[in-house]
Amino acid sequence: MHRSTTFILVLLATLFTVTCARITVNVYFPASEIKDAATEIEQEVRGSDGEGQPPAEKPIDQKQQGSLLWPAMYRVRVAFTPPSAMAQTPDINISTPGIRRLINSRKKRYSRLAPLLQRCVLGENNRGLLALRPTPGVSLKDKASAQALLGQENRDRQQLYQELAKANKLPENRIGEIAKIFAAVNRREARPGWCIQDEGGNWRNK
């Protein structure tokens, strides 16, 4: 009987240790925090376009909120989660010199991009970049100007996503996810009439 009890205790301890180890090495991708950072950046780039639109609040799990056991469950979760795992929820750093340089570059360009976006000469695609749209009646000169601005803007955006990953110690293979989060924010921040592309690849006027 004594041996059986000891075996069960050892087994439980082993399972608990393995679970903690898995939590510790799990790489956390801060999608919600990146969304908040993207909102802040895009509103800064647009200036007055983004005023009065604070970052969206993080949703609360309604099932958890409505449960009488939720406060106790949360305390137990915190108590048994290793500090190293808790520390993996970062505040996104958007203040490095490289990031600030790219934001300022985009801010200076925005006043020239806005009219082209309003006329749907350019549109916000679903990869966090601008795309040239087929627009009847646009002169070759205006198309060439739009193409040049598009190239400059997309280079800044791609470098920005890379700098965000680097500054916040996120793996390079998550840069595509960062770009998609920015794409969703850009769809939301777009003015009425702008051309935007949804996640399925379909274009429409907002």
Q: 120 in a domain, yes or no?
A: yes
- In this prediction, residue 120 carries a pLDDT of 96
Q: 146 in a domain, yes or no?
A: yes
- In this prediction, residue 197 carries a pLDDT of 98
Q: 189 in a domain, yes or no?
A: yes
CA 138 to chain centre: 34
Strands 122-124 and 130-132: antiparallel
- In this prediction, residue 14 carries a pLDDT of 59
Q: Which residues constitute the domain of residue 103? A: 97-205
- In this prediction, residue 61 carries a pLDDT of 45
Number of domains in the chain: 1
- In this prediction, residue 48 carries a pLDDT of 63
- In this prediction, residue 79 carries a pLDDT of 45
Got the DSSP string for the chain? -HHHHHHHHHHHHHHHHHHHHHHHH-----HHHHHHHHHHHHHHHHGGGGTT-PPPPPPP-HHHHT-TTHHHHHHHHHHHS-HHHHTTSPPPP--SHHHHHHHHHHHHHHHHHHHHHHTTSEEE-TTSSEEE---TT--HHHHHHHHHHHHHHHHHHHHHHHHHHHHTT--GGGHHHHHHHHHHHHHHHPPTT-EEE-TTS-EEE-
User: pTM for the full model?
Assistant: 0.70
Q: 26 in a domain, yes or no?
A: no
Q: 148 in a domain, yes or no?
A: yes
Q: 153 in a domain, yes or no?
A: yes
Q: 9 in a domain, yes or no?
A: no
Q: 177 in a domain, yes or no?
A: yes
Splitting the chain (206 residues) into consecutive groups of 10 residues, what average pLDDT does each group show? 59 56 61 97 84 41 42 42 44 96 98 96 98 92 94 98 97 97 98 97 97
Do residues 202 and 143 lie in contact, with contact meaning Cβ atoms separated by under 8 Å? no
